[in-house]
Amino acid sequence: METAGLKHFNDGDEWMTAEDIPNIDFFFCQTWLRAFVNGMSGSCGMNYSKILGVFKGTDMSFYYGKKNALDFALNLVRKLDADPAYGDEINANIMRFSDELEKHANSIPGDLAGKSNAELWAILDAHLKIHSELYSWGWLSNATDMFYPEFTELLKEYLRTKAGSEEQVNALFVALTSPEEKSKEAVQHEEFLEIAIDIENDPFHKALFTHKAPPEISRGVKGEVRRKLEDYHAKYSPITALWIGEPAPLEHFIQELQTHYFLQEKSPAQEFEDSSNGLRARLAEKQRLEQDIGVDEKHAHLFKVFGDFMITKLYRRYAQLRSLYRLRGVFKEISMRFGISLDEARFMLWPEYERLLVKGDFDSGGLAERKEFCVLYSEEGRDLVFTGAEAKRLAESATPKIREGIKELKGQCACLGYAKGRVKIILSPADLPKMQRGDVLVAIATNPDVVPAMKKAGAIVTEQGGVTSHAAIVSRELGVPCVIGTKIATKVLKDGDLVEVDAMKGIVRKLE
């Protein structure tokens, strides 16, 4: 192994699973994996010591040193506890660099054929620099609570001085950390509802959506409704593509409108009003509770920071997805110019793109093996990619072993409530058809592309994510009981299992 000079490779800090992520690419992952060990000190005073990414085709898992990840979280929470305004700085910089990332993406020409290799590198280099800056701030909200719930525990410890039972503490916590603004997901849904309301109020389009099939609707829709649908599609179809998928066609959104509102006679106007009233009610309840239990100024600020983390987390995610979608043309151009597959064009490290495009001295021959299976190890100033037997050994050394016969899982309460139902494992949009109303959606983590299934769920259970995760944010907006951070839910549960989800206590029990 080429490990000479590595400071942390054999430091004795055992690996812990950070995330398992299906359907993602090496290019995007290496951006943040390298940022974790090189770029965090400017935003919070320390980097992660080491990181390990295991890539099996388009599925990846990454790992931190167990003690190091805890030290990183504790460092952040101590800074927030000492100065809640630091949380405002984090959120402001997430918004700033998200906007810069999307601005750069919008500047990428649609036709890159006339661009030189050096100009292609300049596009990639600018993207990678902005994206790394975004991660130096954007990851901080995750790190406070995602692997070790230190921010949650800081706030709950304060609430234990105000409440008698742990269930009361959980209820107060969920109410007081409610965001005071709409998330990107909620804004998108409101725009969707506005289109549905226009259709409902137009006899021609209401009849079209009520009685015709989606292809015929797509051909027949016209005027202002068509314009709004096409604008919505242009704005949000890249979000449905996630990291490497294809964007949903216009008919996908037409079918969603038809299914949700015009085949069920469900009023979009009423849903829009309920959504607006729900946000106002949550804010009023939050203000009432703060007064009733006497929340001091410092902790009121910290509760707001926590809620704002939920807003900026999705703000960042939407900007990343749109930016990466616009960047696809660069990889297609590299693929054509250098005679490598599109997948191979996305399996290179940052310096390797410069060597290929500017210096012309990178041998792409090893990319085919890398895209099948590889391991990336990074620490400050060093990146090593392993393939073959050495990659397999490293992956096995980091992968945790799960004992058999587990009947109960423990996680964090993201949205309070109780439900009992049959498990449906949802790992990608391909799994959506098996989801029935009232089922318990079980996922590694959720993303915008599985929101239709979340709307049907009686409860939501995830392996990963702190209380600022996508599942936590959307479950609160939907009012669906949700337990997150169970670590092994998709590995212990299977489709059809009967479970109860006690999201008042953060417990998931297998009944059958």
Range of the domain at 474: 408-510
Residue 441 CA: distances (Å) to CA of 3, 153, 409: 42, 26, 15
Cα–Cα distance, 174 to 172 (Å, whole number):
6
- Look at residue 462 and give its three-state secondary structure: strand
Given this model, what pLDDT does residue 318 score? 96
Angle between helix axes 203-211 and 184-200 (nearest 10 degrees) is 100
Structure tokens that stand for 104 in this block: 């750069």
Co-location of 44 and 149 in the same domain: yes
Cα–Cα distance, 454 to 484 (Å, whole number):
14
In one letter, which amino acid is 67?
K
Percentage, residues of the chain above pLDDT 70 = 99
The string of DSSP letters for 207-259 reads: HHHHHS-HHHHHHH--HHHHHHHHHHHHHHHHHHTTTTSPPPPHHHHHHHHII
- Domain boundary, last residue among 398, 422, 442: 398
pTM of the model: 0.90
Residue 384 inside a domain? The answer is yes
Co-location of 416 and 356 in the same domain: no
Residue 376 inside a domain? The answer is yes
Co-location of 53 and 135 in the same domain: yes
Q: CB burial class (10 A; 0-12, 13-18, 19+) of residue 286? A: buried
Co-location of 374 and 484 in the same domain: no
Residue 405: pLDDT over 90:
no
Residue 12: pLDDT over 90:
yes
Co-location of 272 and 394 in the same domain: no
Co-location of 144 and 27 in the same domain: yes
Given this model, what pLDDT does residue 476 score? 86
Residue 296 inside a domain? The answer is no
Spell out the residues 6+ positions from residue 47 whose beta carbon is closer than 8 angstroms to its own: 36, 37, 38, 39, 40, 41, 380
Confidence class of residue 29 from pLDDT cuts 50, 70 and 90? very high
* Model confidence pLDDT, tens digit, residues 162-174: 998 998 999 999 9
Residue 132 inside a domain? The answer is yes
Co-location of 189 and 249 in the same domain: yes
In one letter, which amino acid is 269?
A
Residue 387 CA: distances (Å) to CA of 248, 367, 390, 505: 34, 10, 6, 43
Residue 2: pLDDT over 70:
no
- Domain boundary, last residue among 340, 364, 398: 398
Q: Check if the beta carbon of residue 42 is closer than 8 Å to that of residue 228.
A: no
* Model confidence pLDDT, tens digit, residues 258-283: 998 998 878 999 999 988 898 899 99
Q: Check if the beta carbon of residue 88 is closer than 8 Å to that of residue 131.
A: no
Residue with tokens 């704005």: 235
Co-location of 110 and 219 in the same domain: no
Co-location of 373 and 468 in the same domain: no
Residue 1: pLDDT over 60:
no
* Model confidence pLDDT, tens digit, residues 322-372: 999 999 999 999 999 999 999 999 999 999 999 999 999 899 889 999 999
Given this model, what pLDDT does residue 399 score? 86
Residue 71 CA: distances (Å) to CA of 18, 150, 212, 235, 459: 14, 10, 58, 40, 33
Taking residues 488-498, report their average pLDDT. 92
Q: What CATH number has the domain bearing residue 455?
A: 3.50.30.10
Count, residues in the chain: 512
Spell out the residues 6+ positions from residue 92 whose beta carbon is closer than 8 angstroms to its own: none
Co-location of 116 and 232 in the same domain: no
Read off φ and ψ for residue 63, nearest 5 degrees: -140, 145
Cα–Cα distance, 71 to 64 (Å, whole number):
11
- Domain boundary, last residue among 377, 398, 419: 398
Co-location of 434 and 356 in the same domain: no
Counting the structural domains of the chain, the total is 3
Query: Cα torsion at 99, 104, 107, 110 (round to 10°)?
Result: -110
What is the pLDDT of the chain when averaged over all its residues?
93
Lowest mean pLDDT among 50-54, 148-152, 444-448, 456-460: 444-448
Lowest mean pLDDT among 1-5, 238-242, 256-260: 1-5
Confidence class of residue 22 from pLDDT cuts 50, 70 and 90? confident
Residue 400: pLDDT over 90:
no
Cα–Cα distance, 448 to 289 (Å, whole number):
31
Residue 392 inside a domain? The answer is yes
Residue 489 inside a domain? The answer is yes
Query: What is the arrangement of strands in the sheet containing 498-502, beginning at the earlier edge strand?
Result: 408-410, 507-510, 498-502, 418-425, 440-443, 459-462, 482-484, 412-415
Residue 287 inside a domain? The answer is no
Co-location of 332 and 432 in the same domain: no
Cα–Cα distance, 12 to 362 (Å, whole number):
34
51, containing H or E segment: strand 51-56
Residue 4 inside a domain? The answer is no
For the four alpha carbons of 111, 113, 116 and 122, in that order, the dihedral sign comes to positive
